[in-house]
């Protein structure tokens, strides 16, 4: 079964850090470019970051540039999002997804609050 499973979300204080993980199975992860997408409570979808299959190309939304770092380990079939200097406005459900949009994880919730 083709599957993406996110983990690592939780409650963190403003200014803190979290590392999200996304475990892929059922497909050749190393061949696929990946995105992180987030959704604040009651709001729409916001694209966060992109990484190519070989990690050679990376993009970030302006809202997270300089604070978030996307990476992947193809040997472990895993995608990561290191989130530093977190702000209240980063509170959201974070999804990993294939660039084509045909496979999404179930999401992991990040809450930034004191």
Partner 1 sequence: IQLTQSPSSLSASVGDRVTITCRASQGISSYLAWYQQKPGKAPKLLIYAASTLQSGVPSRFSGSGSGTDFTLTISSLQPEDFATYYCQQLNSYPRTFGQGTKVEIK
56: CB partners within 8 A, 6+ apart: none
- Give exposure, 23-59, as e/b (b: 16+ Cβ within 10 Å): bbeeeebeebebbbbbeeeeeeeeebbbbebeeeeee
Q: Does 27 bind partner 1 (CB under 8 A)?
A: no
Q: Which residues 55-94 are close enough to bind partner 1 by CB under 8 A?
A: 59, 61-62
Choosing from 46, 52, 71, 77, the residue that interacts with partner 1 (CB under 8 A) is 46
Phi and psi at residue 75, to the nearest 5°: -70, -25
Q: Does 100 bind partner 1 (CB under 8 A)?
A: yes
Q: Does 35 bind partner 1 (CB under 8 A)?
A: yes
Q: Does 108 bind partner 1 (CB under 8 A)?
A: no
Q: Does 2 bind partner 1 (CB under 8 A)?
A: no
Q: Is the CB of 37 or the CB of 92 nearer to partner 1?
A: 37
CB 110 within 8 A of CB 12: yes
Q: Which residues bind partner 1 (CB under 8 A)?
A: 35, 37, 44-47, 50, 59, 61-62, 95, 97, 100-102, 104-107
């Amino acid at each position: 079964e083709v599957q993406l499973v996110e983990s690592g979300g939780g409650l963190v204080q403003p200014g803190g850090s979290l590392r999200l993980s996304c475990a892929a199975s059922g497909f050749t992860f190393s061949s696929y470019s990946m995105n992180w997408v987030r959704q604040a409570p009651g709001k729409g979808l916001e694209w966060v970051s992109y990484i190519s299959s070989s990690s050679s190309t990376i993009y970030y939304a302006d809202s997270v540039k300089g604070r978030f770092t996307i990476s992947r380990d193809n040997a472990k079939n895993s995608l990561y999002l290191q989130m530093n200097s977190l702000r209240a406005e980063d509170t959201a459900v974070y999804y990993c997804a294939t660039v084509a949009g045909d496979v999404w994880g179930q999401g992991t919730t990040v809450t930034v609050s004191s």
